[in-house]
Amino acid sequence: MKMKKSENLRTNSPGLLTLLWLTSFCVCLLAPILMRLRSSIESDTLMAALGSIADAYSANLAVILGFYFHARQRSEKGVDRSMKSLVIASAATLIWNGLAIGTFFAALAYLIPIDEATKMISGVAPKLSWLVAPMLGYYFSSSVEKSQAS
């Protein structure tokens, strides 16, 4: 029997969200590295930017990777994920990562200085993380709870 698209999306969504977060993290890391390769920033500025990016992503990525690898260790075929929680987690993911990537692309395009981008991500990330982290945690943990209850 063929799976419906929504069922297939719900089955693959933890992997897709995890991939989106990892890809966004790598893209954000790449922007200051490219600027350093073009000699438009110094190494201490590069290290500050990389530290800022790592600090901004570390809490969310740690939770997402923890839930993702925990879920991979057990069978997920019977897990019923709420489409509503997926949409909310996806929206939060797109907003948070869009802001981070947009900030560093603006620096890469010389629209803002890299120091300003670093300050912005360091200032905005904690203000959004309190909103994003619970949404992601709810999505990932609700699927774990439902599978353990079965």
Average pLDDT over residues 28-38: 93
Q: Is the pLDDT of residue 141 over 50?
A: yes
pLDDT of residue 59: 86
Provide mean pLDDT across the span 37-51.
Answer: 92
Domain limits, the chain: 15-149
Question: pLDDT band for position 32 (50/70/90)?
Answer: very high
Confidence of residue 20 (pLDDT cuts 50, 70, 90): very high
Q: What is the mean pLDDT of the chain?
A: 82
Cα atoms found within 13 Å of the Cα of residue 120, Cβ hemisphere only: 16
pLDDT tens readout for residues 88-110? 889 999 999 999 999 999 999 98
